[in-house]
């Protein structure tokens, strides 16, 4: 009985297979030809993406380690400036051409949730009239990103203070950041940090512990570390509207830290400081608005210009896409007070700008007209800034 059932089942299977139509030789050749054409098209597209234009294959970088991803990139920001000093950053600087930033980096990641980046700045990253700029390390880090709520990073990092300072150099709306940001926030330095997103990315945090004495300095200026923290909340996030609120702070004890335009002897600060900030950003379709307030309390060891003084500043920036995705108009108002106990020393600047996106942020033209007034002739005037940005 069992043998008869097996024979019947095999017979049914044979009938089912026999019922399937067998492709003819012409049909099989046609299908093969279509497949070859598809592969040829994909091969051509891949060559174009790799920049393969000659009969000889290009030389491509190969990972030396066991990383699963390796990226080489960078960006250039070439500038031309004309006019007077809109604020102290341009005091004594004439009309000029220069590269504001010229950076190269290598980045990659491992399947084990580790990532890395090592970048060089070839142009010194300064507005000053410097000469003989040498390549130096910029953004360098090792990152462990196993958990979205606890992203651990070690390297040359920005402190967790100042929304405008933390924004990417390639995505800010104006050619330069505000004067208050430049004078009250700190640049990259060797540090360790942890960041994370909570509650479906509604709440984010960033905590940084750093040496506290600037970029490319492997020593600590004293036995203490600089500490900074930032908290960001997104109460509104829809297809058309996004509202972001942030607060942050920085605490440090410094030795001979360069701090300009605060009335310090030699522009060097030794003592303790406590910094605080608050900011918001609102995106509504083609309209963007951001504002930030920064405040710092300085206690110089030498009691100059005072045993304790406060400095603060703010900026408010609005941007509108005149032509969606192509042309953007920008308006900014800002102020910086290096010592709130002294009257008549506030520096105010207004900015009118246009950004033209040839290919998004990858190819961008920027034009800013700055008009400033301050406490002296060297910090009052108008200046035209232009920039061509290429990201590769």
Q: What is the mean pLDDT of each run of 10 residues along the chain (392 residues)?
A: 54 53 72 78 70 64 76 96 95 94 94 94 82 82 95 97 97 98 96 97 97 88 94 96 98 96 96 98 97 98 96 98 97 98 95 98 98 66 97 96
Domains and CATH numbers, the chain: 83-98+158-391 (2.40.160.10)
The predicted pLDDT at position 44 comes to 72
Q: What angle do CA 48, 50, 56 make, to 5 degrees?
A: 90
Quote helix, strand, coil % in the chain, to nearest 5. 15, 50, 35
- Per-residue pLDDT at 1: 55
Please list, residue by residue across 295-329, b when 16 or more beta carbons sit within 10 angstroms of its beta carbon and e when fewer do.
Answer: bbebebeeeebeeebebbbbbbbbbebeeeeeebe
Q: What's the confidence (pLDDT) of residue 24? A: 75
Query: Quick one: pLDDT at residue 377?
Result: 44
Q: How buried is 44 (Cβ within 10 angstroms: 0-12 exposed, 13-18 middle, 19+ buried)?
A: exposed
Q: How many CB atoms lie within 10 A of CB 115?
A: 17
What is the predicted pLDDT for the residue at 128? 81
Report pLDDT for 376.
47
pLDDT of residue 268: 96
What span, in angstroms and rounded, lies between the C-alpha atoms of 372 and 254? 31
């Amino acid at each position: 009985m069992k043998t008869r059932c097996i024979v019947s089942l095999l017979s049914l299977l044979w009938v089912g297979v026999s019922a399937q139509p067998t492709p003819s030789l012409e049909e099989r050749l046609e299908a093969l030809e279509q497949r070859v054409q598809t592969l040829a098209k994909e091969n051509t597209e891949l060559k174009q993406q790799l920049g393969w234009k000659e009969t000889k294959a290009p030389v491509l970088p190969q990972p030396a380690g066991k990383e699963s991803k390796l990226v080489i990139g960078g960006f250039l920001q070439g500038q031309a400036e004309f006019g007077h000093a809109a604020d102290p950053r341009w005091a004594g600087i004439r009309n000029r051409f220069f590269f504001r930033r010229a950076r190269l980096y290598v980045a990659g990641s491992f399947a084990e949730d580790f990532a890395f980046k090592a970048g060089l700045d070839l142009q010194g990253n300064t507005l000053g009239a410097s000469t003989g700029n040498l390549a130096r390390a910029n953004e360098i880090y090792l990152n462990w990103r196993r958990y979205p709520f606890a992203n651990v990073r070690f390297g040359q990092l920005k402190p967790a203070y100042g929304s405008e300072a933390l924004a990417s150099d390639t995505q800010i709306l104006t050619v330069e950041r505000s004067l208050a940001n430049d004078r009250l926030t700190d640049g990259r330095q060797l540090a360790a940090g942890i960041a994370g997103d909570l509650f479906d990315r509604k709440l984010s945090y960033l905590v940084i512990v750093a040496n506290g004495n600037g970029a490319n300095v492997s020593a600590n200026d004293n036995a203490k570390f600089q500490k900074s923290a930032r908290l960001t909340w997104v109460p509104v996030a829809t297809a058309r509207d996004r509202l972001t609120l942030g607060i942050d702070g920085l605490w440090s004890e410094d030795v001979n830290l360069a701090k300009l335009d605060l009335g310090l002897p030699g522009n060097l600060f030794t003592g303790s400081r406590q910094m605080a900030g608050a900011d918001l950003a609102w995106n509504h379709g083609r309209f963007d608005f951001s504002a930030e307030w920064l405040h710092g309390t300085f206690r110089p060891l030498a009691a100059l210009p005072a045993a304790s003084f406060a400095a603060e500043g703010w900026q408010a920036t609005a941007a509108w896409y005149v032509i969606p995705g192509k042309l953007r108009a920008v308006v900014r108002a800002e102020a910086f007070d290096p010592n709130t106990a002294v009257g008549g020393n506030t520096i105010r600047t207004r900015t009118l700008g246009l950004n033209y996106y040839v290919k998004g942020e990858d190819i961008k033209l920027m034009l800013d007209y700055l008009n400033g007034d301050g406490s002296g002739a060297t910090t009052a005037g108008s200046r035209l800034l232009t920039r061509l940005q290429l990201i590769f």
